[in-house]
Structure 1
Amino acid sequence: MKDNKLKKSKGLWGGALGVGLLAVTKMKWLIAILKFAKFSTIISLVLSLFSYGLVFGWRFAIALIYLLLVHELGHYVACKIKGIPVKPTLFIPFIGAAVRPARLPKTVAENAFIAYMGPIFGLLSILPAIPLYLLTENPFWIIVLSVGSILNLFNLIPAGVLDGGKIVAGISTKLWFLGLVAMAAYVVYTKSIFAGFIFVLGILQLWHFYTEKKELNKKKELVQKAKDLYNILLDIKKDSEQFTLKINEYTNTYEFSKVLLDMYKEIQTKSNEEDPCEEVPLQYLEKLKGWIEEQQASLTYQESYETISKKSRIITLVIYILLLVLLSIGLDVSKEMIESHPEVKSFSIK
């Protein structure tokens, strides 16, 4: 009895010591986390924590939220490095969490960088678990190591919206097919509805990619004609009649996207009836400019699949392989630890 009390006491203080050590070692992240944790982020985080806690137990819940938080912090830091504004991060119970960039990355290589920073931070989040377990013998750290390894390895499957799918896009899009095969096998083996959803998204992504690739030249011509129209309209913005005629001419002659004409009609409807001639052209020019910039950004991103440098592809591949190897080692080590703590298998250590 006395020995059991000593072990429990050791485990309790060991867990506290471990959390303290983590807090000290991660102090540099504190400022980033405070910026990262907007109000909606905190609400969704707490909701997820309670959801996981009620179903799996509070130790598992704390471990999972910690792992998700650090993983998403990696994406957040990457976005900041690339100068991309970030909206509040959301935690979604039983699905995960997501950093929400205010704009899309400019290139595939930039997107791959943002994607692999998540698993890199994920790897860093589980590294302290091994020495902390050896120091404290607290099974909590086995949960951190095991769940962290599984979470990040799953995310590295090169399919759909997963980090792995975005990373391998910076290597070769042909790897998406391999990812779909791996995801299909995972769905069959686990019968996971969530994995099935990711599989469907992967197929849709592949279809969208090849459709966009096929229409690339046509889209380039459309954007160029829109630029020409913008320059012409800029010169005749004070002549409302000519302005309208020119929009109709371009829309009919060059098979412009219907959205351009609808955009103009919408502005006409909402314009100030007392002085529509001045307001409509200026508002339309502003909308048209925004549409051109949006389409040009999409074109730049699409073209970047082919313009990624060999050096960038090799660096991304090396990082991807290292992450797979190191996280696999982490998973193997956690399996050995679980042998001495079989209760961890239930993920309900309270």
Structure 2
Amino acid sequence: MKNKKAWGVIITLGLLVLSKFKFVLVILKVLKLQTLISMAIYLWMYALIYGWKFAVAFVYLIFIHEMGHTYAAKRLKLPVSPAIFIPFVGAAIAMKEMPKSAKDEAYLAYMGPVFGLLAFLPAFPLYFYSEDPFWALVIFLGGLLNLFNLIPITPLDGGRIAAGISTKLWAVGLIILLGYSIYNFSILGFIITIIGAMEWYRIYQQQKNLAKDKKEVSSYITTNNLLREHSERASVSNFTYYAGSFKKDILNEQLRETFNILNKVEELETTEEQDREIIDEFLLRFDEQVHKIKNEFERKAAYYKTDNKTKLKLFVIYMGLVVFLAASTYFGNSIIMESEEMKRIME
């Protein structure tokens, strides 16, 4: 058992070092076979340590789990990358675009454990028919894998589900995961705990700053309206001076840079008609940027707002999954403990 853990740690550290070299990812991308190649490497490495039976079962369970996320992403019309298998870590798909709300994010997260549950359900009748403890191992692995993923802390599925219920649940997830990591001295657990804590702090700061952001966006909208009104009645030189007085109050760098368009009026020898075109270009771009900032603020403000009915539904489904997966893990483990062969594999 100690030798297996030692090899696991050595190989994991080696992979973390290799992951820093971007050419590995580039090669996989060019081949267009990143899922198949990473799956083969994953399978081979687990087979070396635990044997082919265990490796095939584990890869199968993880693959179906990730296909659940892929299915949900397609339903939500969200572009995602192919699944990549990372030995001694798991597998993941990368979102190329964020969901529109925490409700959609929860749905995306749910489909992983749901598909994961469906993946090992056939193992129940197969065990009762054959009494082969290998099927109990599949049940145990499927239950544990998906149950671990339901710990309510990002980047685990449970954290994304909790986002649709209450971000306060992330505190519970942090305590659970930290306790698990200390008890099992899990390096991966500690890494996820740190990532989860950082993400929770980021969201906390984002939500805390919403009132300030709202005031800032409101000032940009007011400025935009005042500039448009003034442009209709003022001369070119007067408008340029008037617009310049607002620049110092603008915090957004992109909006501040837009004011540089007006420098053309002063620096170049242009006609009044050309000056007017420059001002119109400035107003158009300023208006577009203000609306973009406004839309982004509204998206952030509304992202974690979920109605009580949806929260209750998400919570009930979450608890149902936790209970069933916990029962499955217990059932599989109780049978494994009675089988010397399975106990040797798990050790």
Q: Same fold (TM over 0.5)?
A: yes
In structure 2, the residue matched to 1:211 is: 205
The equivalent of 1:39 in structure 2 is 33
Contact 2:214 2:297 in 1 (8 A): no
SS of the residue 2:153 aligns to: coil
Q: CA deviation at 1:50?
A: 1.8
Q: Aligned-pair distance for 1:262?
A: 6.4
Q: Deviations over 1:271-302 (max 9, x none)?
A: xxxxxx999x9899789958964773464244
Matches within 5 A, 1:1-350: 39-223=33-217, 251-254=247-250, 256-258=251-253, 260-261=255-256, 289=288, 293=292, 296-297=295-296, 299-305=298-304, 307-347=305-345
Q: Does the C-alpha gap of structure 1 residues 148 and 253 become closer, same or farther in structure 2, counting only changes over 3 Å?
A: same
Aligned-partner Cα distance in 1 for 2:68–2:306? 23
1:54: Cα distance to partner? 2.1
Aligned-pair Cα RMSD in Å = 3.7
Provide the secondary structure at the position in 2 that maps to 1:97. Answer: strand
Taking structure 1 as reference, are residues 242 and 194 closer, same or farther at Cα in structure 2, changes over 3 Å only? farther
Summarize the Cα distance change of 1:65–1:218 in structure 2 as closer, same or farther, 3 Å threshold. Answer: same
Contact 1:233–1:285, Cα closer than 8 Å, also in 2 = no
Whole-Å separation in 1 of the counterparts to 2:65 and 2:210: 34
Residue 47 of structure 1: CA displacement? 2.0
**Structure-2 separation of matches of 1:73 and 1:225:** 45
CA distance in 2, matches of 1:136, 1:230: 74
Offset, 1:94: 1.2
CA deviations on 1:235-278 (whole Å, 9 max, x unpaired) are 99xxxx99998997655222x2335556998xxxxxxxxxxx99
Report the residue type matching 1:319 in the other structure.
I
Deviation at 1:185, TM superposition (A): 1.1
Give the aligned residue type for 1:123: L
Q: What do residues 178-210 of structure 1 show as CA deviations (whole Å, max 9, x unaligned)?
A: 111111211111111111111112221221122
Residue 230 of structure 1 contacts residue 289 of structure 1 at CA under 8 Å; is this kept in 2?
no
* Equivalent AA in structure 1 for residue 336 of structure 2: I
Work out the CA distance in 1 between the residues paired with 2:130 and 2:312.
Answer: 40
Instruction: Tell me if structure 2 keeps the 8 A contact 1:145–1:334.
Output: yes
Q: Deviations over 1:52-98 (max 9, x none)?
A: 22232222221111111111111111111222122222221111111
TM-fit CA distance, 1:100: 1.9
- Equivalent pair of 1:183/1:195 in contact (CA under 8 Å): yes
- In 2, are the aligned partners of 1:263 and 1:284 still within 8 Å (CA)? no
Normalising by structure 2, we get a TM-score of: 0.73
User: Is the contact made by 1:223 and 1:292 (CA closer than 8 Å) also made in structure 2?
Assistant: no
What is the rounded CA distance, in whole Å, between the counterparts of 1:64 and 1:73 in structure 2? 14
Name which one, 1 or 2, has greater alpha-carbon Rg: 2
> SS at 1:88's partner residue?
coil
CA contact (8 A) 2:65 2:112 kept: yes
User: Contact conserved, 1:112 with 1:169, CA < 8 A, in 2?
Assistant: yes
3-state SS, counterpart of residue 85 of structure 1: coil
Structure-2 change in CA distance of 1:193 and 1:222 (3 Å): same
**Any stretches of 5+ residues in structure 2 without a counterpart?**
1-31, 232-236, 261-274
C-alpha distance in 2 between matches for 1:84 and 1:132: 36
Letter in 1 for 2:328: G
CA 327–260 in structure 1, closer or farther in 2 if over 3 Å, else same: same
Contact 1:112 1:167 in 2 (8 A): yes
| 1: CA distance, partners of 2:253 / 2:115 | 44
- CA–CA separation in structure 1 for the residues paired with 2:244 and 2:129: 75
Find the residue that maps to 2:139 and give its secondary structure.
Answer: helix
Cross-structure match for 2:19: none
Specify the code of the residue in structure 2 equivalent to 1:184.
L
Q: Percent of counterpart pairs with the same letter?
A: 36
Taking structure 1 as reference, are residues 130 and 300 closer, same or farther at Cα in structure 2, changes over 3 Å only? same
Q: Normalising by the residue count of structure 1, what TM-score does the alignment of the two structures yield?
A: 0.72
Aligned residues between the structures: 299
Which amino acid counterpart does residue 248 of structure 2 have in structure 1? N
CA distance in 2, matches of 1:99, 1:242: 55
